[in-house]
Amino acid sequence: MPGRCIAKGVHPVQERHLLTRMPSAQRRIHRRPILAALLGLTVVGLGAGAFSLAIFTDTAASTGSFASGTIDITSSPAVAFNVAAMMPGDANTATMTIANAGTAQLRYAMSTTATTALGAALQLTVKTQGTSCAAFDGTTVVAATAVNGAAIGSNAQGGQAGDRMLAAVSNEVLCFRVSLPLASANTLQGLTSAVTFTFDAEQTANNP
């Protein structure tokens, strides 16, 4: 075996005994390659750790803010008509302002309900403001029809014939005229009718 100075014919037990008695300097020579290899592996491990801790890093962030829009329709005055003692042939006109207080364009429709036989007999005509509601010379929005069931457009979703548009934070003035036809039946005397004008609005964006 290389590095051993043992004569041939030496018994294995004697060989181990001789190695044990080998001078310490010689034993150190045998250990040096092993120690060198272990030290080399340690340096490589430390170097890899050092490199993993030495990388450059950076980060960045962006933020956003979102707010939903609003559809907000109002009608004023709250009480458009308060008429008593109507006679056949009488007509009463009221100014009504329809406003969009929201942040997005809307379309709106109107539906009307009226109680009793008097409500069925009363006639409603609606026009744009024109010169004035008193003059009642604007463009016709609703031709003369029974107050009960009168409508502007339709409250069905989507654009419908007769629907009206209002831009955000805008309004329009409509003139409402309610009349009791001259030919009204005598049976209508002394009746009272409650009338409600309901305005329904919806967004126009993404809603053809």
What pLDDT, in 10s, does the model give residues 156-207?
Answer: 999 999 999 999 999 999 999 999 999 999 999 999 999 999 999 999 999 9
Write phi, then psi, for 189 (nearest 5 degrees): -60, 140
Taking the C-alpha atoms of residue 44 and residue 6, their distance in angstroms, rounded to an integer, is: 39
Q: Is the pLDDT confidence value at 141 over 70?
A: yes
Select the more confidently predicted residue: 90 or 10. 90
Report the predicted TM-score, pTM, of the whole model to 2 decimal places: 0.72
Specify the amino acid at residue 185.
A
Task: Give me the sheet containing 140-146, strands edge to edge.
Answer: 73-76, 91-100, 170-179, 123-128, 140-146
Q: Kindly state the tokens that stand for 197.
A: 């004008």
Q: Is the pLDDT confidence value at 125 over 80?
A: yes
Q: Kindly state the tokens that stand for 84.
A: 């008593």
Per-residue confidence (pLDDT) for residue 26, from 0 to 100? 55
Write phi, then psi, for 76 (nearest 5 degrees): -145, 150
